[in-house]
Amino acid sequence: MQFASSIIRNDNMHKYILRRVLLLIPIILGVSLLVFVMTDSAEGNVLQLIGDDYTPQQMAELMHEYGYDRSVLYRYGNYMKGLVRGNLGKSFIYKRPVLELYLQRLPATLKLAGASILVAIVLSIPLGIKAARSHGTLIDNGSMVLALLGLSMPNYWLGLMLAVLFSQKLHWFPSGGNLAGWKSLVLPAITLGTGLMATMTRTTRSSMLDVIRQDYLRTARAKGVPEKVVIRKHGLRNALIPIITIIGTELGKALGGAVVTENVFSYPGVGRLIIEAVNQRDTITVTGCLIMTAVLVAVIQLFVDILYAVVDPRLRAQYTTGRRKRGKKQQITTQGAVV
Amino acid sequence: MNGTKQQNDIVLSIKDLTVHYEVDGEVVEAVNNLSLDLREGKVLGLVGETGAGKTTTALSILNLIPFPPGKIKSGEILLNGKNILAMNIAELERVRGKDVAMIFQDPMTSLNPVLTVVDQVMESILIHETSSKVEARERAIQMLETVGIAAERADEYPHQFSGGMKQRVVIAIALACNSRLLLADEPTTALDVTIQAQVLDLMLKLKEQFNTSMIFITHDLGVVAQVCDEVAVMYAGRIVERGTLEDVFNHTKHPYTEGLFNSLPSIEDRTARLRPIPGLMPDPTQLPLGCTFAPRCSYATEACINTRQTEIGFSESHFALCSRYAEKNFVIDRKEID
Amino acid sequence: MKKRFLVPLLMLFVASLVFAGGAKESSDASGDSGYRDHFVAAINTMPVTLHPGDNDAPIVNDLVYDELIRYNKVTKEFEPSLAVKWEWIDDTATAFRMELRQGVKFHNGNPFTAEDVEYTLSNKGANSNVKSAFDHAVIIDDYTIEVYLKNGDADYFSKLSNTLYAGVLNKASVLADPDNGTAIGTGPWKYDMKGTLMGDTYKFVRNEEYWGKKPITKQLTLRYISSASSRLIALQNDEVQAIMEPNAADVDKIKNDPRLEYHSGTGVGPAKLYYVGFNMINGKGAKNIYLRQAIARALNLADIIATSGDLNAVEADGSFWGANTAFRAPTSAFKVDLSYNLEEARALVKKAEALNGGPIGKLTITGNTTKAINMSMCLVVQQACKAIGLDVDIEETDSAGIKAKTDWNNPNFDIIQYNVPLEDWASAVNRMFLPFSGNNRALLNDDYVTNLITKAAAITNDAERARMYQDLQVYIHDNAIYVPAYYGSRDGAQRKGVEGVVWSNDGYPEFAYATVRK
């Protein structure tokens, strides 16, 4: 991995990463403002919800304490005052710090996101390759239909169907929760993964189609490279480059919290936390969780972009100065090959 | 290899090759009953306009015609005595790159952008020879230096090289295993003239060093004159004239070949008008039974259009596909030079 | 060379996210008894906090905390719990003395004393049903306490029997740790915070030092599974041994499954009353008694029950008191007949229009329409009104939205469709009529009603109280402030071999003594 490490050590790369990290600030500002204002303006506020039995005077005191007698921007201002100090606030409902709640749920969501991407990759890449190689035939069109099917099936229905078949009838996997280790992941991951499949299959297919047409495959064949190796080493290696970006995007989507799937399988991820908080008008929790999600997604995108550079040598010039050993340039000219 | 010394001398022998492309219900007759022989150490120039079927012929030798839509209808291609067209995939993969190698036309797209150049040269060696990675790498670097690429640049990627350097890499890849036969499909067409000269020089040097036989595909008669020992002129999928360099250049027989020479601008008479061959190549889906060049030929007669053409011999090496030479005393305008 | 590793490395990274450990379920193998060590139940309503007074449902409270006085839902009797003796020390139900049980320890070992009772009942501990009445307490000694209320409340002891209202907290623990100290109780179960994920899974271990009857099961887990279908699948798989509220459509399937049992909560504990109420502050029915009565007479309660999907619902008889409460007025006491009669209803509409000085105009009805049972009731009301010439719009919202619409300062509806659990004590219904009470969805602020309630609450003489409550019920009924529709039932299902689960009609089952045979 000498090139990977050389890239990471490179100064230009450091500057690039710094720029991307600084970009997080406007992202956080934007997300927090948008989410806060939207949740806050939904009918009903959290104090009304939990304040069933407060006297009007106590209620008025509470409203004043939390700023519900002022405008939404005032409350937002209070929230931001805490945010800049790194404090995501305390949930009204759970009475615990939002950050703690989020971090409690994050590992489960990460596992689910990772597993669904895995499922999607395992299903879509071979399918996309097959479709590209059998371009125009029944197999090609069939695979596109299959991919589309994965996208169109509502997660709620698919999840339940999987649970009925594999959990209830066959007893292979638990029907919900996160208590059985990796087995708890399988059904939710398949449910989520088939939805991610559509985009990835299409991208694999079009990327592969593009690559198949390339002359360097013909060069490889003319060298006597076995067909399997041609497809894998020469074809796939190039075709995978745009797919990496897609994987990054889809991973971001999955991390946002697959609410419906988590609901069906009562899987304790971030998505469920957010939806319960929305139902209870727990603005602070919703905003905090979505900010964290946005940051996580941005970090993953950054990672994917760097990976992109590592995998595609043509992009490296963007990030590195392309330093070569000194004196090389002179050596070439003295050999007479000016080109 | 088995066979007599005579047979060993013939590296490539194409007999009656016919290749069609079936596209949208129509049949493109790309190569029609083509035959040629190539001896060891000789360079054959395959000349013709775009669409004449030169690349198709070369790809057939590797049996790399894309299967839909292309189809090799008939013929035999004997490489070192064995029929390429009868081989299975495993045998073909052994032969490609080892017994016969090809240099493709466009260096910009012929190299894999995500592999280093030394990797791509090494790949041939590792497939065909039993060497360790270290040995293969050394040989690859040597090959690269032979074509003029410094060892320090071996681990760089294709996009870091200019067009001419890329072509050198392509050549290095092709020659990595010292193939007996090299097919060069317009290797200098994409390069500018000064680079062209260097690359041609290189190829000649390599030919001498390794005694490689070559088929040099080009539409540039000047290049043919520099590099080739023998010439075959193609038109509409057929070889219309073939012979030694001397034969075809100084004793031109076929009207088409004459037309090619005529369309070259004269360096002596700079103000003279250009004399292109009138008309266009025929539609390859509707080739006539008779002479395919007849519609454009200034010497054509009724008989030419209807008569199926057969080769007429002028010497041991020199043949042309023109039925008018059956008549006594038929000559074309171009003067013979002795 | 290096590139070869990139793709598998990427896969490995993604895969590592997946395999980063996973908790294993604790084993079920127990040594001696024929019962499993671990019992798991699936619930559909989530306790949100670790503070008993802030929760909406007592399912968890019942496990972790004890009440001062225990009310047995089955026998309908009071039993001593943390208090062994209690009596009024005056005759206006304003002050009482309690003797407390000795030798009880909280989960963290702290001793239970009168100090904790004072702390719980005061502003710090309980639900406002209890703390709003509390004025001050006098601690006589560690196990004797006198409590003084702001106003007379003859049913105060009943309120103390609800762990939702008055689960006993440990003052020292809460002061030491305000966030987590409230999780310490005296009950038969202790929180297992390691296995608990708020909002998802609640794990408990048996309190080995419990002063009362110790549960047989050693570990208890409550899993929040909001989808009824998922709950059923989990039950069929034995991933859970009991579930709350299966889909009405699945009840037959459960009954036919030899591994499962269906249980209805009918008859045990208070039922939830489904009703229609009118906005008495600024709704169209506020000043128009004929409009309210018209709508009351237009409702066919059988229809409402039929569309509810509740198999064990019981039609209300017009009395607004809880089905099981004492001092319920007989329907013969009512002066106005508000039974179903479309003809009479239309006549009342005419009277309403006359009173209004013109046609009534569009009415809005609101309810927690995210639940189908509420939505269907709203639709029936809408249809009924249409039949008598009234135009009603349904304003859909969720539970949080309802709270906003019924805000005392800014109400925004004409008719409300809602439900309320009515405990068994006589004055349980009061909070539907007291101004500024959260359960007073009609926003009623009527001096006559308020005075009557306050007076009746302080009276300990049953006969006198009965008379006053009777007058109250007649008043509420005849004025059609609320129209009761039906008493709903709640149910559950469990696996064969499960014992000890109390399925209650208020939808809050008791799992403290649940067992399952191995």
Confidence grade of residue C77 (pLDDT, cut at 50, 70, 90): confident
B298 compared with C147, residue with greater pLDDT? C147
Residue among B149, B172, B336, B329 at smallest CA distance from B252:
B336
Looking at residue C91, its pLDDT comes to: 83
Q: What one-character DSSP code corresponds to residue A235?
A: I
Of B94, B162, B168, the CB nearest to A224: B94
**Residue whose structure tokens are 């495993």:** B90
Q: Give the whole-angstrom CA distance, residue A274 versus residue A168.
A: 29
Other CB atoms within 10 Å distance of the CB of residue C440: 21
Which of the 8 DSSP states describes residue A164? I
Residue carrying the six token digits 């859909």: C396
Is the pLDDT confidence value at B2 over 60?
no
Q: Which residues of B touch A (CB under 8 A)?
A: 62, 64, 89, 92-98, 101-102, 104, 106, 109-115, 123-124, 127-128, 148-150, 152-153, 157, 159-160, 162-165, 168, 170, 173, 195, 198
Inter-chain residue contact B198 with A335, CB threshold 8 Å: no
C364 touches chain A (CB under 8 A): no
Q: What is the largest CA-CA distance in chain B?
A: 67
Nearest-Cα residue of chain C relative to residue B155: C1
**Is-contact C294 C302, C-beta < 8 A?**
no
Chains A and B: how many Cβ contacts under 8 Å? 99
Surface of C (102-131) touching A: CB under 8 A: 127-129
Taking only the tens place, the pLDDT of each residue in C285-335 is 999 999 999 999 999 999 999 998 888 888 888 776 776 777 788 888 899
Q: Which chain C residues touch A4 with a CB distance below 8 Å?
A: 2
- Which residue, among C423, C412, C459, C418, has the nearest Cα to C438 in the 3D structure? C418
CB contact at 8 A, A93 and C170? no
Contact C51 A118 (CB under 8 A): no
pLDDT digits (tens, 9 = 90+) for C188-241: 999 998 888 888 899 999 999 999 999 999 999 999 988 888 899 999 999 999
Output the pLDDT for position A335. 36
Instruction: Say what the pLDDT of residue B111 is.
Output: 92
The shortest C-alpha distance from B97 to chain C (Å) reads 22
Query: What's the pLDDT tens digit per position in B143-197?
Result: 898 888 899 999 999 999 988 889 889 988 988 888 889 999 988 887 788 888 8
Q: Is B266 helix (H, G, I), strand (E, B) or coil?
A: coil
Is the Cβ–Cβ distance between C96 and C121 less than 8 Å? no
> Which chain C residues touch A42 with a CB distance below 8 Å?
400-401
Would you state the pLDDT for residue B50?
A: 81
Chain C 1-60, residues with CB within 8 Å of chain B CB atoms: 1, 3
Note which residues in 42-71 of chain C have CB less than 8 A from chain A: 46, 48-51, 54
Are the CB atoms for B133 and A240 separated by under 8 Å?
Answer: no
Q: Which of the two residues, A295 and C14, has the higher pLDDT score?
A: A295
Query: Mean of the pLDDT values across residues C54-64?
Result: 86
Residue C490 has pLDDT above 60, yes or no: yes
* Greater model confidence, A9 or C83: C83
Among the listed residues C421, C422, C426, C476, the one whose alpha carbon sits nearest the alpha carbon of residue C325: C426
**Predicted pLDDT at C9:** 65
Interface residues of chain A, partner chain B, Cβ below 8 Å: 214-216, 218-227, 234, 237-238, 241, 311-314, 322, 324-325, 328, 331-332, 335-337, 339
Considering chain C, what is the average pLDDT of its residues? 87
The two three-digit tokens of residue C292, written as one number: 């309210």
Q: Which domains does chain A have, with CATH numbers?
A: 96-279 (1.10.3720.10)
Q: Calculate what percentage of chain C has a pLDDT beyond 90.
A: 52
CB C43 within 8 A of CB C494: no
Task: Specify the higher pLDDT residue, C164 or B208.
Answer: B208
**Closest chain A C-alpha to B184 CA, distance in angstroms:** 12
Helix (H, G, I), strand (E, B) or coil at A299: helix
Ordered structural domains, chain C, with CATH: 20-44+188-265+492-518 (3.40.190.10), 65-178 (3.90.76.10), 272-488 (3.10.105.10)
Which residues on chain C are in Cβ contact (under 8 Å) with A182?
A: 18-19, 22
Task: State the alpha helices, DSSP H only, in C69-154.
Answer: 114-121, 128-131
Q: How far apart are CA C171 and CA C163, in angstroms?
A: 16
C115-155 residue pLDDT tens: 999 999 886 667 777 877 888 999 999 999 999 998 888 88
Across the strands, what pairs with C201?
C197, C223
User: What span, in angstroms and rounded, lies between the C-alpha atoms of A52 and A67?
Assistant: 18
- Angstroms from C16 CA to nearest CA on chain B: 27
Instruction: Give residue C298's identity as a one-letter amino acid code.
Output: A
pLDDT band at B141 (very low <50, low <70, confident <90, very high): very high
- Residue C1: pLDDT band (50, 70, 90) is very low
In the predicted model, is pLDDT for residue C337 greater than 80? yes
Query: Could A222 and B97 be called an inter-chain contact, meaning their C-beta atoms sit closer than 8 Å?
Result: yes
- B238-244 vs B230-235, strand pairing mode: antiparallel
pLDDT score recorded for residue C437: 81
Q: Is C441 on the interface with A (CB under 8 A)?
A: no
Question: What is the model's pLDDT at position A312?
Answer: 83
Above 70 in pLDDT, residue C254? yes
Over residues B255-295, the pLDDT tens digits come to 899 888 888 877 777 787 878 888 888 888 888 888 888 88
- Across the interface, do A184 and C22 touch by the CB < 8 Å criterion? yes
Q: Closest partner residue to A48 among C6, C236, C407, by Cβ?
A: C407
Cis preceding linkage at B69, omega within 30? yes
* pLDDT score for C48: 74
Whether residue C442 is predicted with pLDDT greater than 50 in this model: the reply is yes
Compute the residue count for chain A: 339
- List the structure tokens of C98: 């309690």
How big is the CA angle at A65 (ends A59 and A66), to the nearest 5 degrees?
95
Beta-carbon contacts of residue A64 (< 8 Å; ≥ 6 apart): none
**What six digits make up the tokens of A246?**
């897609």
In this prediction, residue C256 carries a pLDDT of 94
Query: Cα distance from B127 to chain C (closest Cα, Å)?
Result: 16
pLDDT attached to residue C4? 56
- In B58-198, the DSSP E strands lie at 70-79, 82-83, 100-103, 181-185
Q: Give A244 to chain B, closest Cα distance, Å.
A: 15
Tens digit of pLDDT at every position of chain A (339 positions) = 455 566 556 677 788 888 888 888 888 888 888 888 888 887 777 776 665 556 667 777 777 877 777 888 888 888 888 888 878 888 877 878 899 889 988 998 899 999 999 998 998 888 888 888 888 888 888 888 888 888 888 888 888 899 989 988 888 888 888 888 888 899 999 998 888 888 888 888 989 888 888 889 999 999 999 988 898 888 888 888 888 888 888 888 788 768 888 888 888 888 888 888 888 888 888 888 888 888 888 888 888 888 887 788 887 766 655 444 443 443 333 333 333
C180-194: average pLDDT: 91
- C31 pLDDT more than 60: no
Mean pLDDT over residues C169-173, rounded? 91
- Specify the pLDDT at position C85: 93
- Mean pLDDT for the stretch of residues C479-504: 92
Q: What would the two tokens of residue A321 be?
A: 């100065």
In this structure, are residues B230 and B242 in contact, taking their beta carbons and an 8 Å threshold? yes
- Please determine, for residue C56, whether its predicted confidence score (pLDDT) is greater than 80: no
Report pTM: 0.76
Chain B (100-129) residues lying within 8 Å, Cβ to Cβ, of chain C: 114-115, 119
d(CA B58, CA B285): 21
From chain A, pick out residues whose CB is under 8 angstroms from the CB of C179: 95-96
Instruction: Flag whether pLDDT at C495 surpasses 90.
Output: yes
Q: Give the nearest partner residue to B164 out of A220, A314, A339, using CB atoms.
A: A339
Q: What is the pLDDT of residues B60-111, one digit of tens each?
A: 999 988 877 888 888 999 988 889 888 888 888 989 988 899 998 888 889 9
Chains near B, with 3+ CB pairs < 8 A?
A: A, C
Distance CA A193, CA A122 (A): 10
